[in-house]
Amino acid sequence: MKKTVVLTGDRPSGPLHLGHYVGSLVSRVALQETTQQYVMIADIQALTDNFENPEKVHNNVYEVLADYLAVGIDPHKTTIFIQSMIPAIPELTMYYMNLVTLARVQRNPTVKNEIQQKGYGQTVTAGFVNYPINQAADITAFQATVVPVGQDQLPMIEQTNEIVRSFNRIYKTEVLVEAEALVTKTARLSGIDGQAKMSKSLGNAIFLKDTADELAQKVRAMYTDPNHIKVEDPGNLEGNTVFEYLDIFATDKQKIQELKDHYQKGGLGDSKVKQYLLEQLNAFLEPIRTRRQEYIKDKAYLREILLKGTSDANHITQAVLAQVKQAMHLVY
């Protein structure tokens, strides 16, 4: 019997990229075989930094779902749902806001980093600052015991568990359960610029939907060793995004080691290494790309999956919400 409840998801602020794949998608495909898994398309959270462009978020819900299906997430094994169609989540968020001080939310390292990265400063919205509380509602609404995250999301799980402990202590209950963070094997994939984590907003991402031509253009622009000017110069592997990607996506480990040795010794140009990486990425992405193209053409099928998954998710979350309101004496 499946006992482990997993909750994970993505914001539909754009299609998914290779960073999503190594960070969470591959683990979701495996987890659906052994757990009760819920995957959320977090359109409410996407609106925290896309509130002036709701049409973009709406359209990307289908883009993200097509990515899920293309990599092997099976709607018969995983419940896929839309966050905004789960009424229990905003209601729980409102209750939890009374359990967290503003100072605590502002100290959340993930929030602080994203505010700085996006250049918000004093213009940051209350919705953006409070999305860790909303995320706690996402997780606890399903009584999730495991949440797959990257290293940068660990503060979110910590804050969720603080809310769980506060709620259970104040209301003398055990209705909410703490969640364990499942840190993915590759917690971070650098963007093609080599300067930051791969991100849609930073324009340094390789998307699962990229065509062969788009992929080639991005691989050619990838950051390598800036001091490796001439072919005969010894090259440095540290911070070299091409070799970082080869370690993750290339299957011939002996070949990779030979390339590394040759590059460090000198006599191997960046263009040849990039060409090899391009071949490996194309081999990896082509079947995903092909399946994705078929899924995205059938919006009716995608909508059917979303409505079925959301209906199932609603049954679960309403039951949890009822227990929360009972503990808070909000049943009349």
pLDDT (mean) for 233-260: 94
Q: What are phi and psi of 41, to 5 degrees?
A: -95, 105
pLDDT at residue number 253? 93
Which residue's entry shows tokens 């299906």?
Answer: 69
For residues 186 and 52, the model is more confident at 52
pLDDT (mean) for 237-243: 94
pLDDT at residue number 3? 60
Q: Is the pLDDT of residue 185 over 70?
A: no
pLDDT at residue number 69? 97
What CATH number matches the domain at 212-293, 3.30.379.10, 2.170.190.11, 1.10.240.10, 3.30.420.40? Answer: 1.10.240.10
Give me the count of residues in the chain: 332
CATH 1.10.240.10 domain extents, the chain = 212-293
Q: Is the pLDDT of residue 50 over 50?
A: yes
What value does the mean pLDDT of the chain take?
Answer: 91
pLDDT at residue number 118? 73
Tell me the pLDDT tens digit for each residue of 310-327.
Answer: 999 999 999 999 999 999
Strands 5-10 and 36-41, how do they pair?
Answer: parallel
Give the model's confidence band at 151: pLDDT under 50 very low, under 70 low, under 90 confident, else very high. Answer: confident
pLDDT at residue number 257? 96
Q: Which residues contact 232 (CB under 8 A, 6 or more apart)?
A: 266, 267
CATH architecture of the domain formed by 5-190+299-327: 3-Layer(aba) Sandwich (3.40)
Buried b (16+ CB within 10 A) or exposed e, 299-314: eeebeebbeebbeebb
pLDDT at residue number 222? 95
The Cα-based distances of 239 to 15, 151, 222 in angstroms read 26, 19, 11
Tell me the pLDDT tens digit for each residue of 153-165.
Answer: 888 899 999 999 9
Tell me the pLDDT tens digit for each residue of 20-44.
Answer: 888 788 889 999 999 999 999 999 8
Picking from 79, 78, 1, 89, the residue whose alpha carbon sits closest to that of residue 43 is: 89
Tell me the pLDDT tens digit for each residue of 124-145.
Answer: 778 778 888 999 999 999 999 9
Tell me the pLDDT tens digit for each residue of 88-115.
Answer: 999 999 999 999 988 888 788 877 777 7
pLDDT at residue number 187? 59
pLDDT at residue number 22? 85
pLDDT at residue number 186? 62
The Cα-based distances of 82 to 15, 48, 217, 277 in angstroms read 15, 16, 34, 36
pLDDT at residue number 265? 95
CATH 3.40.50.620 domain extents, the chain = 5-190+299-327
pLDDT at residue number 1? 39
For residues 169 and 184, the model is more confident at 169
Q: Is the pLDDT of residue 331 over 90?
A: yes
The Cα-based distances of 117 to 33, 80, 133, 233, 311 in angstroms read 36, 30, 20, 35, 36
With DSSP H G I counted as helix, E B as strand and the rest as coil, what are the percentages for the chain, rounded to 5? Answer: 60, 10, 35
Picking from 158, 178, 180, the residue whose alpha carbon sits closest to that of residue 169 is: 178
Which residue's entry shows tokens 């994939």?
Answer: 189
